[in-house]
A and B are shown apart, each in its own frame.
Chain A
Amino acid sequence: MSEKALSRFTQPISVPGRRLLHHVPLHFVLKKVTGGGQRAANHEIPLIPFIDFLLCIVLFLLASFSATGELPVDKNVQLPKAENVLDMTEAPMIAITGTQIMVDGVPAGNTRAIEEANRLQRIDELFNILKNKRELWKQINPGKEFPGVAVLQVDKKVPALVVKSVFQTAAFAGYPNISFMVGRLGGEGGG
């Protein structure tokens, strides 16, 4: 639109252009604001690339989102790694840390007696806790078949005798389907 055309009518809408600080009588400020200086004082924040970047982060985090949450692993426990594995499941967690046996963070016995006796034996405290958990599950889910799944979190250096004792105790308490918690060695698979 030309200057002549604008002058003929009263225009409520003015011609777009730089407006900020135009009435300031300082010449050098006006020069800067209008872009006449070396660098303009007004800047546009590039919002579109910023939104694209945020969307990429959101998509990545959504793709790696796990609804089951992080499983608590004791810092002293070094888990073995395996290749042909399954995703984790929700089940009672039996952890063997040092000489302590824990079920979902609650102390459930000691391995010292097994190691000293050097023979397979039932761990009564663990048995009672697991049995109570099974009965509670049955009360909460009447009519449903009990899955009998428990997850064993065992340090890689623990002798098989201790693992067998815990395994057998869990089986006697109604948890014959045991999963060993391991680290992922790479590749896919279903074990």
Chain B
Amino acid sequence: MAGIDTGGGHGKGRATNHEIPLIPFIDFLLCLVAFLLVTAVWSQMARINADARVPGPPKPDEEIEKQQKEKQLHVEMRGERKFQLVWKEGSTVVNTIDVERKPVKVGEDTQFPDLAKKIVDEWTANGSHRAPTDTKIDQAVLHCDNSTQFQDVIAVIDAIYKPQRDYTFAGAVKKIPAFNVTFAVN
């Protein structure tokens, strides 16, 4: 076994030569390996956020009239051919952009890179909350047909989360998504 030999050890007092107990150490390491292997998580599950738009004011403590109308990006995925990006202030339409629906297959999944690129461009040009010190986030609302498959809904939400901005919190700068997504159920 491993040991520390100083060459002395003939005098009084404590011995200077020591044996390092390697066998218990190896046993401990093997137990640790076994425990970590049993509890290891190999699946790569994650989540993607969306909040609900339900009847009633979003801030119940404030009156509806007093709430400031902010510019929102509405993403319409109705129909097979195109997406529609609509900037609205309250019910007033500010701008409408059509984006061709070009799905790209990544394995068995779908992505819309053209839509993601357009949303990044739109936020860079028209986003209201771009400063790193701004605590608010721009709002995007997703509308879809009832027959749309769930994987397409996720692909569009993923595209909306593509633009990212700096956010300063407690002196540290980190990247956060530029939009918060609301899933319109009506």
Q: Residues on A close to B: CB < 8 A?
A: 47-48, 50-51, 54-55, 57-58, 61-62, 64-66, 69-71, 73, 78-89, 118, 120, 151, 154-161, 163-165, 167-168, 170-172, 176-185, 189-191
Contacts and interface: CB of A to CB of B under 8 A. Distances in A.
B37 A81 contact: no
11 contacts: A54-B29, A54-B30, A58-B29, A71-B43, A80-B151, A80-B154, A87-B47, A89-B47, A167-B183, A176-B52, A185-B111
B27 to A, nearest CB: 10
A170 B54 CA distance: 10
Interface of B: 2, 22, 25-26, 29-30, 32-33, 36-37, 39-41, 43-52, 54, 106-109, 111, 144-151, 153-155, 157-158, 161-162, 164, 175-177, 183, 185-186
Q: Which of A55, A120, A154, A180 has the most CB of B within 10 A?
A: A180
A183 B144 CA distance: 22
B185 A80 contact: no
A54 B26 contact: yes
Contact of B151 (A69, A73, A156): A156
Nearest to B181: A191
Contacts of A66: 40-41
B33 A86 contact: no
Given A54-B30, A176-B54, A191 B150 contact: no
A47 B26 contact: yes
Contact of A172 (B36, B50, B54): B54
Contact of A167 (B49, B147, B185): B185
A87 B43 CA distance: 12
